[in-house]
Amino acid sequence: MVREAVRTGKRISVRSGGHCYADLAYHAEAEIIIDLSLMDGIHYDPHRRAFAVESGAQLGHIYETLFRGWGVTLPGGVCPSVGIGGHATGGGHGLLSRQFGNVADLIEAVEVVVVDRHGDVRTVVASRQDTGRLNDLWWACAGGGGGSFGVITKFWFRTRGATGHDPAAQLPNPPAEVLISTAFAAWEQLDQATFTALIRNQCQWYVDHSAPDSPGAALCGLLFVQHVSTGGIGMLTQVDATVPGAEELLRDYLDAVTAGTGITGPFPFRRLPWLASTETIDTSNPTVMTNSTLRSGIKQAYLRERFTDEQIGAIYRHMTRRDYSNPFPGASLLQLGAMAGGQVNALAPTDTAVFQRRSALVAVLENYWVTEAEDEANLGWLRELYGEVFASTGGYPVPGERYEGCNINAPDPDITDPRFNRSGVPWHTFYFGQNYPRLQRAKAHWDPGNHFRHSLSVTADR
């Protein structure tokens, strides 16, 4: 199919089988969509001592296959329908990332269909152990985002430094059991002062426990702040039940986050087998099974320091606005918490194309709605909230002492628009930081004809 597209001069787009928040796979200029969703094979490759996973495999299938077959896993996201192709190439993080790093950190090799400067199509395998141009391709596929360098048809995953030939020792072993705590507070329970305390506490806990060797890396907690028209404020916390003092870690975290908020315990928790917990969390999100048909918007930020009280005030104002409403379940949401820090910070910013290695936590603003007629109201709310939170740096989290940019897996077309990104900082600095020039060199060599491109793809340095 790639040969046919090159021969006829048709625009190529690639889909690994999941979903995307922007028009990176499906857009007006795409003439041939290469859909990899039927390529979902998973097996252990003894030659590479790594797990081969085809690019169309979805996370739910991967977790179950790896764990039931070999007792291992990847530290990816909680949505089971996400395709590994885009997830891994954009970094990929989830509830186990503080213990085991990003999914991209475990990429041992990639199989990629590329097009050379003569228009010839070939398949190459690039690995972590390669040197020169091949290593550049592997490195670019480990965090440089999908759709820029070629069609990735297969990944091999192995933990850095893994030894021996036992498959069970080549990828992380998830906890045998986890502690899961959920809590909920209605907006009526909070005023601006107590809300400020809640957000401040949540941020500060992760700032204080962001080091790779922190015992707090065994805990991943998320705060879900929904608009007043949609719901309330939820807390989801997962702790590795096998670490010493797991229950105390959970209680101390919940007490620290809720201190001074009026939200009081006891906070019940359940002890569950890891896979059962993962499947429960996967299916508890009301948008999981429907988001492929919804209209959506997403804006994300890596935080190195906590939000200021002024920023929290902006969040409170927009979350309690009465001139805006969105009754769709799970919509108009701020997700604030882990999936950064811990072992994510164990690598250097240049070890993979994911440069965000000094962050403490992640803030994700997302919104969902049904019809095109609702675009203006729902995108407007999202833009106003995000822009006001990061007003002091031009509407976006400029990498520096406080922030570490954004994640390409949360693609935001507004970032290229000076009406919204008033920082003067190029869009690619937010996603790739100082790694962008190497990505450009890889692009120039491996896709010199720019056959693989979209609105947020890497452009060659010519």
Question: Between residues 33 and 428, which one has the greater pLDDT?
Answer: 428
pLDDT over 70 (residue 337): yes
Average pLDDT for 177-194:
96
Positive or negative: CA dihedral 144, 145, 146, 148: negative
Question: Between residues 213 and 289, which one has the greater pLDDT?
Answer: 213
The pLDDT of residue 285 is 53
**Residue 460 belongs to some domain of the structure:** no
Give one DSSP letter per residue of 138-149, joined into a string.
HHHHTTS-SSSS
| Cα distances (angstroms) measured from residue 29 to each of 34, 71, 369, 446 | 14, 43, 25, 22
The pLDDT of residue 254 is 97
Task: Report residue 13's pLDDT band, with 50, 70 and 90 as the boundaries.
Answer: confident
| Cα distances (angstroms) measured from residue 428 to each of 118, 387, 398 | 28, 18, 11
| Cα distances (angstroms) measured from residue 257 to each of 73, 144, 221, 265 | 29, 34, 10, 11
Pairing relation of β-strands 50-54 and 121-127? unpaired
Residues 138 and 219 in one domain: no
pLDDT over 70 (residue 390): yes
pLDDT over 90 (residue 287): no
Pairing relation of β-strands 151-157 and 107-115? antiparallel
| Percent over 70 (pLDDT), the chain | 97
Residues 130 and 190 in one domain: no
Give the pTM.
0.95
**Residue 442 belongs to some domain of the structure:** no
Range of the domain at 324: 177-434
For residue range 391-411, list pLDDT tens digits in order.
999 999 999 999 999 999 999
**Residue 450 belongs to some domain of the structure:** no
| Cα distances (angstroms) measured from residue 430 to each of 379, 391, 440 | 21, 16, 15
Residues 169 and 181 in one domain: no
Within 8 A by CB and 6+ apart from 148, the residues are: 140, 439, 443, 447, 452, 453, 457, 458
Residues 411 and 289 in one domain: yes
The pLDDT of residue 290 is 46
The pLDDT of residue 459 is 95
- Which of 173, 194, 211 is the last residue in one of the domains? 173
Cα separation, 370 vs 373, whole angstroms? 9
CATH of the domain at 109: 3.30.465.10
For residue range 110-139, list pLDDT tens digits in order.
999 999 999 999 999 999 999 999 999 999
For residue range 29-82, list pLDDT tens digits in order.
878 888 999 999 999 999 999 999 999 999 999 999 999 999 999 999 998 889
Average pLDDT for 131-157:
97
Residues 207 and 132 in one domain: no
Residues 203 and 315 in one domain: yes
Number of compact structural domains in the chain = 2
**Residue 459 belongs to some domain of the structure:** no
The pLDDT of residue 20 is 78
The pLDDT of residue 452 is 92
- Which of 144, 173, 202 is the last residue in one of the domains? 173
Question: Between residues 11 and 255, which one has the greater pLDDT?
Answer: 255
Average pLDDT for 137-157:
96
Residues 228 and 156 in one domain: no
The pLDDT of residue 371 is 92
CATH of the domain at 346: 3.40.462.20
The pLDDT of residue 292 is 54
Residues 250 and 154 in one domain: no
The pLDDT of residue 283 is 52
**Residue 444 belongs to some domain of the structure:** no
The pLDDT of residue 330 is 79
Q: What is the residue-averaged pLDDT of the chain?
A: 94
Residues 238 and 225 in one domain: yes
**Residue 403 belongs to some domain of the structure:** yes
Residues 135 and 222 in one domain: no
- Which of 173, 205, 235 is the last residue in one of the domains? 173
**Residue 446 belongs to some domain of the structure:** no
Residues 226 and 338 in one domain: yes
Task: Report residue 280's pLDDT band, with 50, 70 and 90 as the boundaries.
Answer: confident
Task: Report residue 202's pLDDT band, with 50, 70 and 90 as the boundaries.
Answer: very high
The pLDDT of residue 462 is 53
**Residue 37 belongs to some domain of the structure:** yes
Residues 324 and 387 in one domain: yes
